[in-house]
Structure 1
Amino acid sequence: MLNADQNELDKFSQLAHRWWDPNSEFKPLHDINPLRLAWIDSHAGISGKTILDVGCGGGILSESMAQRGATVTGIDLSDKALGVAKLHLLESGNKVDYQKSSAEEFSDRTPACYDVVTCMEMLEHVPNPASIVSACSVLVKPGGHVFFSTINRNAKAYLLAVVGAEYILKMLPKGTHDYAKFIKPSELSRWAKSALLEPDELIGMTFNPLNQRYSLGHDTDVNYLLHTKKTS
């Protein structure tokens, strides 16, 4: 059975044409991308590396990694998002190999092929996130880096990521997130260790509504990122 929620795919497919509009529903992705890109680069030194971006969507992170000198492949299950990603390459001149595939299917075809694997803002949208974590481990080379980002599951996360972001500040469309699919850092770390991925750094990402800026820091109550390394 495909590890995907068709309602989630349909939801993002309907918005795909707005992926590269920095003032659209995807504005938060544009705003956080410099932060997550710099954080990934600080750990993995991505120039010259082979990178797989799992759940690449319209390619915001994929293209930025390619701009820094990486050889990037992006996979997703949304035809419309991939179509937008490919069209944007014509405008930007960047090079990314976009393919329609699940993480699990791609891991069967290309095990241990990548220096770096990224899976950002995706785990909270799939039925079986632990399976995605396991597939990412299969895809990365021994000693390679795997990066995840997702949303914590607690009352504060519900208030800020769902009520605040979707209903009060209207930063995201209503229904973007399902609180029941949020993931505690302890759960993600446990899945990673079970997949032979050793957690290295857990860091939070917060939003300041006063200056409209995101920052990385110690607060992992809502959004957080996890860097892991493949142990063998």
Structure 2
Amino acid sequence: MKCNGGMQDDSNHKVTSEEDRKYAKEIRTLIRLFGDSINEEELKQKMVHYNGNIELVIKDLVQQSVEKQKQEQRNAVNESNDNSNKSVQKEMEKTEVGETKPGINLQGYCINETCLASKAKLPVWINIGFDTIIFISDKTSFSCPDCKKATVTSIIKAMFYNSEHSICATGDSIPVKDNNYQCSYTIKPELSYELKANKIRQHAKSIEDLRDRSEQAMNSTEIKNL
């Protein structure tokens, strides 16, 4: 059995050596043409696959090169689109009209056709300050910070900044109360809302209580995210 195995190995080696010598000239030519994209062993395999027909091997290599270039172009386009989308997203996040200040801040859209914010379909921020207001989300008439007209007729978000506040919508039995550094709430259409915001008062009962409250404030998510 060992003898037969050895004879078989010698036979395979002999065939391989003969094929190497048989296609040596063609392989050297192909290496000069395509050596930067394929190694010698792969060229040998292709020569054997196509029974030494160098024209078919060249066509195969050219097609392989074309497909590789197309794939690289697709990858480049996809990467460019991804970067573009990220840039657009970042720009959209930064592009807002108006500014938020302590108290109640409402975000909505202006419908004044001559307003630049309206033309660009940008949301605007309206600062109400420390106050109590009642409004129906899609039946309002707040002043636009850009065109100064009372043409912000729909509110989509309420944000309380650095204030003790409460918010209550139609159907709510108990208003939501909080005194965090910053809280945002989605405003739904066709609902009536009552918003209240007051300056934050000191509720500490002792120095120890004051320290505890200060530590809680410094460890709050709002402060850590600044």
TM-score (norm 2): 0.23
TM-score (norm 1): 0.22
More relative contact order, 1 or 2 (CA 8 Å, 6+ apart): 1
